[in-house]
Structure 1
Amino acid sequence: GGLIIKILKRTAVFEDKDTSPGPPLAQSIKLNVPRKTKLYVDQTLRERENAVAMHRAFQMDLCRLRLRAAREYAKALEASLAPVSADPQEPLKMNAVVQGIGPAFKLTLSIQNTSASRLVSDLQISFLYNQSLYSVKRAFFKVRDQFPA
């Protein structure tokens, strides 16, 4: 067996509730729905008559949007992997990742030496930014030596 204990307030008021089956009473209240305007009727007729063409145009635009987004994403990936250094003796790759949105975010820079044998040292990074919009703890710092990959 089981035991159910219910704690009631002293000021509890017990009312009889409608236990009849069916939808609740609030569902039978008529809503104030505005009348159909001529513009609405014309628009629905146009959509019914041209449904296939409208759907086809929508799908084509959606495919174009996806293609453009993919191209821009690929372009951004290629740009972030391009060597930073113009000097072929010091081939470096830098990748920047922004973590977070809003007023506070974290910028992570990854620097990689792609040379097979050359050590890269004495690198310095400087941030140029709008000081009225952003604040940076250290706008200039030295990078540790980059050993060959």
Structure 2
Amino acid sequence: MKPMKVLLSSLAFMILFVAGCKPSGSERTASQPAASSKETFVQVTGKSWKLDRWVGVDGSSQDVGPITMKVDENNRVSGNASVNRYSGTVKFTEAGATDFSSGFISTKMMGLPEAMARETRFFAELRLIRSAGLENGRFVLTGDGSLRLEFAPEKTDAP
């Protein structure tokens, strides 16, 4: 009877391991090719997005605060970084990676220490973004380490 328990325990572990390796529903399959980062930016142009989930490069969950992003037809992005407004141009490398590493400006207002720390981290991690995609109607930026910024469409009062 003891070998049967060991076998069942091993089988249960293998099932859990394989289930953990299975792609989640938001991932694309071979029959549904993912849009490139550049194509994604075309798709999100003209819409306002509000950050509502942020996993830092170190894997820790971050307070999203009032961070927003809007993209225009020239790949210029702008928004609220927590305290200050920002703008800049996203570029794309030859390999197709998203590049937020240069050319960004922001206003220079002071805010509460926690809001200023959030904003400083947002700008630092935005520079580490490498790809963009749309997942279930959400604008998702991913980068180095565990970095993942998920934006939901911003609700507007306009009809």
State if a TM-score over 0.5 links the two structures. no
Normalised by the length of structure 2, the TM-score is 0.29
Q: Name whichever structure is richer in strand by fraction.
A: 2
Higher CA-based Rg: 1
Q: Larger RCO: Structure 1 or Structure 2 (Cα < 8 Å, ≥ 6 residues apart)?
A: 2
